[in-house]
Structure 1
Amino acid sequence: MDGWIKLHRKITESAIFSDPDLLRLWIYCLSRAAYKETTWVVEKQEVLLQPGQFVTGRFALQQDYNAGVAPRKKIKDTTLWSWLKRLESFGNLDIKSYNKYSVVTVVNWSEYQETLTSEPQQNDNKLTTEPQQTDTKKNVKNLRTISTTSTTEPLQDVWFRLTKKFIMPSNLLDFFSKLKTNGYDESFCTELLQEAFESAENGSVNMRYLEKIRDRWIADGISSRKQSQEEKARRANNAESKGRTEEVRSGSNPPPSKFAFLNQRNRRSGT
């Protein structure tokens, strides 16, 4: 995900601000919400989302919320869902639950997120001095650079992009959860998943194949598809060089001729 969300200053006056867990969940909801009309595919069914809406479920919410969190601090899926319902009771969200997913709507999305603020910022800039304006431009440029280069696509989004399925199987959830518990971050998991799908011959990825790639990456100190390609190229070059070396060695030591015994007899007789 990329882009920006707005957070109104009056949030400090709300009940959410006094609860760190609810505040984190609220910011997560704002970050997940669509900023324009879009279509998601859930269990082979298209779901049309309006600005301010997103699709989730208990297990998907648990995975996203607990990403990068220490095991002892992870929150259960039932607890997270109760917090989500609490935000709904506050009037921040509207939740419509279906058989295998829920559509969450951020209430008053357009009021807080779609209002343009460029003109007030321009008016404020007129009051500043020229050096301050220059510094501001540099800072904005730096922020844009950072946001472009350091954004990591969430694992759940990568899964949906590759499979067009919203719910990741429980065995894969456990697989990636154990990786994160062992210190491997979200970026490692997303790169590993994409590597598996891109290199699979039939486009189908199973646990044994994922585990094989995981073991190879860990053994070789690989953390991205780029490093994996570089390692494959290095091994291919080494194999090619080794093959050429073997050819040279075999060429410098030809097999003995079937007439070698005649040469030996002649040397003994002095002829």
Structure 2
Amino acid sequence: MSGWIKLHRSLLDWEWYDDANATRLLIHLLVSANYEPKRWKGVVIPSGSIVLSWDTLSIGCGLTVQQTRTAMAKLTDSGEVTRKVTNKFQTVTLVKWDQMQSDIIDNNNQANRQITDKQQTNNKQTNRQVTTTKEVKNKRSKNYTKDFESCFDFYHEHSVLPKSDKAAAYKYWVKLTADEKNSIRNTLQKFLEINNDEYCVKFRSYLSGKRWEDDLSGKQPKKKPFQPIYNPAIGG
């Protein structure tokens, strides 16, 4: 059992406060009572109440059964508790529970609502962030230039390797000068005809390693010439 209760200073004015057993029993009932309604064997036990027997109660508060009965009579006579008795158990209700503990219950409920609201807000923010991230990625994927798309697609159509990370390759592409891009257009086809084997590199590595600067003079193609690589209408 966890949580806490409010112990009011008015307890000092209670007529049986100087009776150790009666005070012990009252405090035991305060910390043991339901803080919210609960079902027990088909019966709803309201907040501020507890189902017990004399044996379990005496063990719980550390008194003998007779001491517990005597103390309970003092609590009942002074209006601190009411009892509903059956042949199997009794339900003890703290009369002032709502008056003394209601603000704690309200605070607990408010705290739970705040936690729930915060979790829902965080979930919504996370969902929005994920959605925004996807939208940004999709948007970026549509912002590749035509000359890059042409080179990337041609390279991997004729390469023995699977496609490389397009976004990573594009990061290198945008750093190239116009002259470097022209050099790639002019040498890429021959590079693939000569190097299209197990030693071939992915397009990202081709760009990062500036492989268009390789000296291909005197080397023979390992494959038949490809179709022309570029549409003259595509600019740099």
TM-score of the superposed pair, with normalisation by structure 2: 0.43
TM-score of the superposed pair, with normalisation by structure 1: 0.37
Higher relative contact order, structure no. (Cα contacts within 8 Å, ≥ 6 residues apart): 1
- Which has more radius of gyration? 2
